[in-house]
């Protein structure tokens, strides 16, 4: 069965490693839907996904999300992410590159064995 748009988004967000960020547009691009960055944001509003590291998702210029900017800033800073003088993530350094930055394996990648 093919995964829904939201499920595809959640799979990507779950893989963003600590100390890195991804933009809404980057996530949309990664799932093959490059013009749907706004819908990636909508996916974050689903209560079923609140356990995911949404604090690691930012705007393409490194700006933080309005509703949770202060908490997002503190959490990213605690993970070692650095910001410019306008409190934007320094994207050339901290933007996640799955090819370059090893992401932790997710238990959902392994089949259930009984």
pLDDT computed for residue 105 by the predictor: 57
Q: What pTM does this model have?
A: 0.85
Element (H, E) at 57: strand 57-58
The pLDDT, as a whole number, for residue 99 is 85
The residues, ordered by sequence, that sit 6+ positions from 9 with a Cβ below 8 Å of its Cβ are 27, 31, 40, 43
Which whole-number Å values give the CA distances from 83 to 27, 61, 71, 86, in the listed order? 21, 11, 14, 8
pLDDT tens for the chain, residues 1 to 114: 899 999 999 999 999 999 999 999 999 999 999 999 999 999 998 888 889 999 999 999 999 987 789 999 999 999 999 999 999 999 999 999 998 876 555 555 555 555
**What is the spatial distance between Cα 97 and Cα 34, in angstroms, rounded to a whole number?**
16
Write down the pLDDT at residue 92: 97
């Amino acid at each position: 069965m093919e995964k829904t748009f939201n499920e595809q988004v959640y799979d990507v967000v779950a893989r963003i490693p600590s100390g890195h960020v991804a933009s809404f547009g980057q996530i949309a691009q990664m799932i093959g839907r490059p013009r749907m960055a706004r819908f990636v944001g909508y996916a974050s509003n689903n209560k079923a996904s609140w356990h995911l590291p949404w604090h690691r998702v930012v705007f393409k210029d490194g700006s933080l999300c309005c509703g949770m900017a202060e908490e997002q800033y503190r959490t990213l800073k605690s993970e070692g992410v650095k910001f410019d003088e306008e409190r934007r993530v320094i994207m050339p350094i901290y933007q996640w590159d799955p090819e370059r930055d090893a992401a932790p394996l997710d238990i959902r990648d392994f089949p259930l064995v009984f």
